[in-house]
Amino acid sequence: MKLQPVIETPHPAAIWAETAPLDPLQIDCVTAVMLKILDNKCKMQPEQQMAITAIYTVVRQRQGALFEPSIHQKIDDALNADSAISCQQIHELRLYAERVIPKPVMKHFKSYLRDSLYDLN
């Protein structure tokens, strides 16, 4: 019997993110939400968290405004079960992200994201 290779369809949010005109501060907002997910402080439903994770995997290569590129390696490490990065380090990064991104910016971004992704579900 010949087995067919598994074909994974990209998440609709990832497809959206490939062409979304996100500015550097919005890229940082995606990163901040990803940190919130990893810190188990995100109040989004699991399917919304999956969408953010899909978006993050697409936009993590783009330059943000506030974070050093090394933050993405720390997030990658946290996603790796064998990683040495601690929950405390992720927690501290999340708190830092919440301090440096103005609340109105994050609120506007979340609204933009909801409006943009509404038709994808």
Domain boundaries, the chain: 22-120
Q: Is the pLDDT of residue 92 over 70?
A: yes
pLDDT score recorded for residue 85 = 77
CA nearest neighbour of 117 among 33, 36, 15, 31: 15
Q: Contact 23/81 with Cβ under 8 angstroms?
A: no
Q: Cα separations (Å) of 6 from 53, 57, 84?
A: 21, 20, 31
pLDDT score recorded for residue 117 = 85
pLDDT score recorded for residue 79 = 86
Grade residue 2 by pLDDT with cuts at 50, 70 and 90. low
Identity at 79, one-letter amino acid code: L
Give the C-alpha separation, 19 to 116, whole Å: 12
Grade residue 8 by pLDDT with cuts at 50, 70 and 90. confident
